Amino acid sequence: MKGFLVLPLLTTALLAGCAGTDVNSLVTAGTSLAQAATLTDADVKSLSDQACAEADQTNKTAGSRTNYARRLTKIMGGLKNSDVPNLNVRVYLTKDVNAWAMANGCVRVYSGLMDMMTDDEVRGVLGHELGHVALGHSKKAMQVAYTATAARSMAGAANGAVAALSSSQLGELGEKLVNAQFSQAQETAADDFAFDLLTKNKANTKALVTAFEKLAKLDGGKSSMFGSHPGSEARAKHIEDRISKVASK
């Protein structure tokens, strides 16, 4: 998933999102991954709740009676049993092409993405974002992003307590989460999670391929929404191979 402030009409990730600043580069001087890992599950949920709420305040959300909201309800019906609890799913009204999910089950998809994709394709994208959450990638991104944000403001955790963050710091934290770039292994694992989840729900797995293909056309095959390693075309081929293996059984 990619940030709150993104270039119009370009993919940006991304539940837990999928591209932007490398997670490891967020660790500034005086901080470490070991320090980040001291955040408990409760800390991660609390910080995610706050960051998601801050994002909602700075973005226009589609009302429950809008076509976008109705579509999203239908789409999520095909993503049951994702192992992501407390799902809180909404549509942001913006022409940007993006979707992301945080570790607390906060899921946001942008109307720009819904405008260019079918329901099945959006379902595939959200399945990928849920994969980052279910597989723990989003939790790690929060741990690292919080450490960097707190360190720059001299508000690091003391005696195991999570420092309180201001509204601007929460906005910065959320932007880091949405812009977090996962490793190739993590991205592939999230792709496979999406495929398996779609299969379990008897949903259209081919739509995950066409979603990648559409993203590839936006930026020459290096869609930032799903990371640049591998590019969208390679990821589409990976899912096609999985579909072929299932069909051959």
Q: Is 3 domain-assigned?
A: no
Question: Residue 169's pLDDT is what?
Answer: 77
Residue 6 lies in a domain: no
Cα–Cα distance for residue pair 176/186, rounded to 1 Å: 17
> How many domains are there within the chain?
1
**Domain membership of residue 169 as a residue range:** 23-248
CA distance 137 to 140: 5
In a domain, 12, yes or no: no
As a whole number, the mean pLDDT across the chain is 79
Instruction: Express each pLDDT in 62-111 by its tens digit.
Output: 999 999 999 999 999 999 999 999 999 999 999 999 999 999 999 999 99
Chain length of the chain: 249
Give CA separation, 15 vs 52, 98, 119, 131, 159, in Å: 11, 10, 18, 8, 30
- The answer, yes or no, to whether residue 122 has pLDDT greater than 50, is yes
Structure pTM?
Answer: 0.79
Q: Is residue 1 part of a domain?
A: no
Question: Which pLDDT belongs to residue 249?
Answer: 75
Residue 144: inside a domain, yes or no?
A: yes
Q: What is the predicted pLDDT for the residue at 36?
A: 54
163, part of any domain: yes
Rounded distance between C-alpha atoms, residue 163 and residue 167, angstroms: 13
Residues acting as catalytic residues: 129
The answer as to whether 52 is a domain residue is yes
